[in-house]
Amino acid sequence: MTRLFRGAFIVWVVLRYGLDELVLSSFRHPTLRLLTRLVSIGRNLDSPRGERLREALERLGPIFVKFGQVLSTRRDLLPPDIADELARLQDRVPPFPSAVAVATIERAFGKPLDAVFTHFDQVPVASASIAQVHFATLRDGRHGGREVAVKVLRPNMRPVIEKDLSLMRMMAGWVEKLSADGKRLKPREVVAEFDKYLHDELDLLREASNAAQLRRNMQGLDLVLIPEMLWDYCHTEVMVMERMNGLPINKVDELRRRGVDIPKLARDGVTIFFTQVFRDGFFHADMHPGNIQVSVDPATFGRYISLDFGIVGTLTEFDKEYLAQNFTAFFRRDYKRVAELHIESGWVPSDTRVDELESAIRAVCEPYFDRPLKEISLGMVLMRLFQTSRRFQVEIQPQLVLLQKTLLNIEGLGRDLDPELDLWNTAKPFLEKWMVEQVGPQKLLQQLKAEAPHYAKLLPALPRLVHDFLQHKPHELRRELDELLAEQRRTNRLLQGIVWGGVGFLMGLLLMQVLTRVRLW
């Protein structure tokens, strides 16, 4: 019943804001144009279409808002009016009342607001689907007088998300059962991944720990700033962090006016992303413009500022190495190696012909090399990749869904900053250097250092472990030894037979030669 009511509410919102008319109006067929006019009868759809879409997504809740945030980064796929409205979902979702935020803070810290802050801005500086942010100044303790940003979780988020996830699970089950591609697309596994990340985002302590890890990882890069988490003031519903001084990354004209090197900024963004993915296997996975700023402080001028760490992606060593090999082969245009890697990893059936898959990948990718972002039609690339994946039964990898989403964000940011950016040539040197580091002597030395404590504990205990093993498993060892001895005896008999047979054959030849000579004599 919960799913039924939620589904009915979604349908009501779609009709209330005229999203059905919005979809139909994008087609030019006369019959569909007539249907558009018919469905509009009796409804007030005077508001601009982008505004109606944004308001509908806000009304539907956080999952739909996040979908709008992802779309907002792809201006190459959307009309400008819709892209402009969806951009407001990045940090200008209608805020919840400040009184509710204050009550949440006081409940979390167990004391009045004035006992924690000397100043607290009642008007939030940013408001998104899961939380909103207020600026404040701390009162006491070792951080007294420090300017901070206070992130407060929206109330009653969990029930809304649970309803949407329940509906998504049901729909995923339908897709898996009814669609010919259900097994390959793994819809239930994808929803399960989405479920995990959304629930992680509802715990601000987890977000603070994500930020701390990213801050440590990025310390030596000098390209990105990540705010310090003030752990004395972090709670599951409230998170207090260092206040950052920057401009939103989508304010390109203002950044250029202040002297920021925009093409360098675009290249740095690619470097940051690939460093987090391939070096660390731990990456910021919600990189829309609302979460990315550029520092205007003289000491750190022009560096990225990352915010909002509720969603991070992680990769195993296997995933990192496999993806890096794929990217490297791709940048070298070694499509045969790309095809081989897909087969080796099990992403496609083992009986797939390498030459056919190689040819299909080449046909998709080759037209887009050595071209700037402004000349690449991502929609066409995605459509052709989807067709190829269906043809070769490529299985979706749920653990990489976040990475694919983040790649869309990165490309969208790069397109806005520098349409002339060559994404491939920018990333290629980094990946080639990374691959050399993975197989070189430096990597071997690092692995030996990492394993040294384990070996130091193991070696002194090795005689005792061998003794215990021999003492506790005599029957198994005896059986294995008997089998080895029996096999050795069979091998010896075979060798003896071969040797004696060879000797007999030679003796026969010699005897025949002797008899022949006797007759001739």
Classify residue 253: in a domain, yes or no: yes
Domain that holds residue 36: 2-87
Classify residue 312: in a domain, yes or no: yes
Tell me how many domains the chain contains.
Answer: 2
Residues recognised as catalytic:
286
| pLDDT confidence bin for 313, thresholds 50/70/90 | confident
Classify residue 468: in a domain, yes or no: no
Classify residue 355: in a domain, yes or no: yes
Instruction: Work out whether strand 131-138 and strand 224-225 pair parallel, antiparallel, or are unpaired.
Output: unpaired
pLDDT of residue 518: 47
pLDDT, averaged across the chain: 77
Q: Taking Cα atoms as reference points, which of 282, 305, 281 lies closest to residue 292? A: 305
Classify residue 138: in a domain, yes or no: no
- How is 47-95 classified by DSSP, letter by letter? S-HHHHHHHHHHHH-HHHHHHHHHHHT-TTTS-HHHHHHHHTTTTBSPP
Which one of 409, 441, 473 terminates a domain? 441
Per-residue pLDDT of 454-511, as tens digits, reads 666 666 766 766 666 666 655 655 666 666 667 667 666 666 666 566 556 556 656 5
Residue 120 burial (CB count, 10 A): 18
Classify residue 61: in a domain, yes or no: yes
Classify residue 163: in a domain, yes or no: no
Res 321 pLDDT > 90: no
Which one of 388, 415, 441 terminates a domain? 441
C-alpha span between 483 and 478 (Å, rounded): 9
Classify residue 71: in a domain, yes or no: yes
pTM above 0.85, yes or no: no
Which one of 87, 112, 140 terminates a domain? 87
C-alpha span between 122 and 475 (Å, rounded): 76
